[in-house]
Amino acid sequence: DADVTQTPRNRITKTGKRIMLECSQTKGHDRMYWYRQDPGLGLRLIYYSFDVKDINKGEISDGYSVSRQAQAKFSLSLESAIPNQTALYFCATSKQGGTGELFFGEGSRLTVL
Partner 1 sequence: DAKTTQPNSMESNEEEPVHLPCNHSTISGTDYIHWYRQLPSQGPEYVIHGLTSNVNNRMASLAIAEDRKSSTLILHRATLRDAAVYYCILRDLSQYNNNDMRFGAGTRLTVKP
- Specify which residues 108 forms β-bridges with: 89
Count of residues that interact with partner 1, criterion CB under 8 A: 26
| Least CB distance to partner 1 at residue 2 (A) | 10
In angstroms, how far is CA 4 from the centroid of its own chain?
11
Candidates 24, 25, 29, 35; binder of partner 1 (CB under 8 A) is: 35
Q: Does 102 bind partner 1 (CB under 8 A)?
A: yes
Which residues in the 57-76 window bind partner 1 by CB under 8 A?
58-59
Min dist. Cβ of residue 4 to partner 1 (A): 8
7 binds partner 1 (CB under 8 A): no
Query: Could you say whether residue 25 binds partner 1 (CB under 8 A)?
Result: no
Q: Edge-to-edge strands of the sheet including 65-70? A: 4-7, 19-25, 73-78, 65-70
DSSP E strand boundaries for 1-113: 4-7, 10-13, 19-25, 31-37, 43-49, 56-57, 65-70, 73-78, 87-94, 103-104, 108-112
Residues that bind partner 1 (CB under 8 A): 4, 31, 33, 35, 40-45, 48, 50, 58-59, 90, 92, 94, 99-107
